[in-house]
Structure 1
Amino acid sequence: MTIHRAVVARVQPLTATMTRVTLHGEGLAGFRTTGVGDEYVRLFFPHGPDRGDLSLPLSTDKGWETPEGQPVAPMRTYTIRAVRPEAGEIDVDFVLHDHGVASTWVAGARPGDVIGVNDPTGLYRPPADLAWQVLIADQTGLPAVARLLENTPDEVATRVVVELPDPAAIQPLPDTKVTWVYGGNGHGASRLAELVSAAIPPGTDMTGGYVWVAGETNALRTVRRYLRKELGLPADRFKVVGYWIPDADSWNERYEALPDAVRAELVALWDDPVDELEDLTIRYEARLSDLGL
């Protein structure tokens, strides 16, 4: 894995709640897109008020580590909205909040700012017989939805449902059937589980079908159980991607406060060689729920 030093080229407000940052620079020369529409990267932000003071971690076989004596760069995960190799540019769309490392940084972003970007990973993997798909997301998944639509062959029928905080957050999408609903997104209870069950009710013939859902992580626990356990979908017929957790800092503090034995138990859940990844994830999330996380 390579961690690239990128420079802000442009900052473009998209809506009242989302801003696009275009990155470029010599440090992106080795950036290799996967081409997958929902590919994501880790962004490493300056650790202090100096927007040019960026302490990038070093790549290791297991990920990355901060050099001894250097400050830890705050890290957040974001999807890539667009890659233009010929121009040496990538676009990242940020949802704006009134708090948080990424939102605070993007609120003051300007050309010349620096940021770290690692190599991307894509999760969208439709089956070979793909004939139709349903894409459902909250506002954080909107950039990936747009790019997935741009990459979808014309012969694949696509239905899109996006949950936004309000109509002012709507963005133009490639020509397709889009249903905009309002709620969730930190302003109320997420409706993602309701939207998925309405779009893929029991008895749906999944021949040639694929379901991709992204958004609030905790709300997607119900979605994953519904698709896998209640509908019994094979793992290659859906992908559920958690993008954010409400009050993530508090969640992380409560997780770190768990007894060592409990955290070891949670890690050990992933070592079961029998279950598929989706089933392991369901077991892990159920245990988190039991622990109030």
Structure 2
Amino acid sequence: MTIHRAVVARVQPLTGTMTRITFDGAGLATFTSTGIGDEYVRLFLPHGPDRGDVSLPETTDNGGWQTPEGRPVAPMRSYTIRAVRPEAGEIDIDFVLHDHGVASGWAAAARPGDVIGLSSPTGLYSPPADLSWQVLITDLTGLPAVTRLLEETSDQVTTRAVIEVPGPSSVQSLPDRPGIRTTWVHGGNGHGPSRLAELVSAAIPPGTDLTGGYVWVAGQTNSLRSVRRYLRKDLKLPVERFKVVGYWVPDAETWTERYEALPAAVRSELDSLWDEPDDEAEDLTIRYESRLSEFGL
């Protein structure tokens, strides 16, 4: 992993709930995109009022990072890359704007010259070789990834996109060509109960012929627990036929505090679930999430 120093070049409001920030700078000269439409990076933000003072982490031998000795820890959040223009040395990241959260607050006040750190990217979208159709379902946080996936998907692939946004003012223009069908749904996104599970079961009901298909779902993490179970256990999809990605947790700071308040034996049990031999990661995740739900998390 490499940590790059990036500088805000431009800020472009997209809607009342999302803004696009373009980054450039010499630190991005070695940035290499994965070429995967939902690739994401970890952003390291200023720790204080000086928007140019960022404690850029140092990479470690095991592929992680650490804060330099004597420096404050930089707040870190993960974000999808909306676009990469290597010829211009630029990266676009679209930020959801809301009334809480360190990254949203930073983005709302962003201006040219601000500095952040960002990591090498990781992509998750991985359709099977026989892909002929796909379903992409997300809330507002996954809209940048869905837009890029639509732009980069072959014309020979039929795509159904379903996007849950807070309201009409959050709708954006998406690629419109034969083979793409987009549905906008209003709700969720912290303003009401998420409907992602309902949208997935409606788009891919039991009995659907899944030959050549791929399902990609992203958004509010807690609401995706039932989605993962539905796709894996009810529809019995093989793991190469779907990807479920949690992007955000309501009141994340409170959730972390409640998790850390669990008895040590419970946390040890939860950690040990990942040590089951020969089990698929998705099945382990389902068991882990089921136990979290039992503890009210």
TM-score range (shorter-chain normalised) is: over 0.9
Query: Map of 1:103-114 to 2, 5 A cutoff?
Result: 103-114=104-115
Tell me, what secondary structure is at the counterpart of 2:230? Answer: helix
Alignment of 1:15 with 2:15, yes or no, is yes
SS of 1:112 mapped into structure 2:
coil
Task: State how 1:25-44 maps to structure 2 within 5 Å.
Answer: 25-44=25-44
Equivalent residue for 2:57? 57
Match of 1:219 among 220, 223, 230: 223
Amino acid at match of 1:173: L
Question: What SS does the aligned partner of 1:147 have?
Answer: helix
For the residue of structure 2 that corresponds to 1:282, the secondary structure is: helix
Give the AA of the match of 2:6: A
Q: Give the residue type in structure 2 aligned to 1:107.
A: A
CA displacement at 1:62 relative to structure 2: 4.2
Who is 1:67 aligned against? 68
Shift of 1:259: 2.2
Q: CA deviation at 1:261?
A: 2.2
How far the C-alpha of 1:257 sits from its partner, in A, is 1.7
1:48 alignment partner AA: G
Q: How does 1:68-107 map to 2 (within 5 A)?
A: 68-107=69-108
How far did 1:117 drift? 0.3
Equivalence for 2:256: 252
Q: Deviations over 1:249-276 (max 9, x none)?
A: 1111111222222222212111112210
3-state SS in 2 of match to 1:278: helix
Which residue number corresponds to residue 206 of structure 2?
202
Shift of 1:207: 0.4
Where does structure 2 lack aligned partners over 5 or more consecutive residues? none
Alignment of 1:275 onto 2:279: yes
Q: For the residues of structure 1 that align with 2:30 and 2:63, how far apart are their CA atoms?
A: 20
TM-score in terms of structure 1 length: 0.99
User: More deviation in 187-196 or 172-181?
Assistant: 172-181
Counterpart of 1:288 in structure 2 is 292
CA RMSD of aligned residues (A): 0.7
Choose 45-54 or 59-68, whichever is displaced more. Answer: 59-68
Read off the aligned partner of 2:101 and give its amino acid letter. G
Render the CA deviation track for 1:167-193: whole Å, top value 9, x for unaligned: 100000011311000110000000000
Are 1:234 and 2:245 matched, yes or no?
no
Q: Distance in 2 between matches of 1:215 and 1:67?
A: 33
Unaligned runs of 5+ in 1: none
The 5 A counterparts of 1:117-266 are 117-175=118-176, 176-266=180-270
Residue 47 of structure 2 aligns with which residue?
47
Is 66-75 or 192-201 further displaced after alignment?
A: 66-75
Structure 2 Cα separation of the partners of residues 256 and 23 of structure 1: 36
> Residues of 1 paired with 2:198 and 2:88: CA distance?
41
Question: After superposition, what is the alpha-carbon deviation per residue over 1:136-171, rounded to whole angstroms, capped at 9, x for unaligned?
Answer: 000000000000011100000001100000010000
Partner Cα distance (2:274, 2:4) in 1:
30
Compute the displacement of 1:53 (Å): 1.0
What secondary structure does 1:215 align onto? strand
Alignment-mate amino acid for residue 71 of structure 1: P
State how far apart, in whole Å, the 2-side matches of 1:270 and 1:67 are.
30
* Structure 1 Cα separation of the partners of residues 133 and 184 of structure 2: 19
When normalised by structure 2's length, the TM-score is 0.97
Amino acid at match of 1:63: G
Distance in 1 separating the partners of 2:59 and 2:150: 33
CA distance in structure 1 between the partners assigned to 2:125 and 2:100 by the alignment: 30
